[in-house]
Amino acid sequence: MRKLEYIKKEYARTRTMPGKWYLSSCRYKFNITPVRIFFDMLKQRKLVGLKCMGCNHVYFPPKLVCPRCLTMPDKWVGLRETGVIATFTATYDKDEKTGELVPVPIVAVRLDGADTIYIVEMNPNIKFDDVYVGMPVKAKWRDGELQGNLNDIEYFDAIDDPAKSITEDAKAGGN
């Protein structure tokens, strides 16, 4: 086995700035004004995304700067409460009766009309083995008064998949 050798290169310094930097005295101010519309719409049980006029991508949740073209998305577009599962994974909870670890699905949903994904919990009554990529889902809002944040969406629930019923009909007709 050959040992790799590290060759240290000398670099010329380009700029220096004298002084002491006390990071504890620095303050960062986040301006929530551009996304206030998003939070206000969540209180009304409506989903909206920000559309970038440079590359036409729709972001949900909204982004203040488009990572694709580095412009500020500036057009609000309405989104449906439905979407499809782009990918999913599992977390594990302990079953109170048996003590066994049970997989609980955590899904990344691409809302209809959006180009990005949103990670959220799935309906707790749906088993992990029943979840699949491309599964159509719908948002389930929390009961009561909403706070105007992403936690207002309690979970996503499975809805009827027309593609699945077509394949089941084809299998039944082929027997």
Please state the three-class secondary structure of 13-29 as a single string.
CCCCCCCCCCHHHCCCC
Does this model's pTM top 0.75?
no
In sequence order, what are the beta bridge partners of 47? 79
Please check whether residue 86 lies inside any domain of the structure: yes
What does the pLDDT look like over 72-94, one tens digit per residue? Answer: 888 999 999 999 999 999 999 88
Please check whether residue 12 lies inside any domain of the structure: no
Proportion of the chain above pLDDT 70, given as a percent: 85
Please check whether residue 6 lies inside any domain of the structure: no
Please check whether residue 124 lies inside any domain of the structure: yes
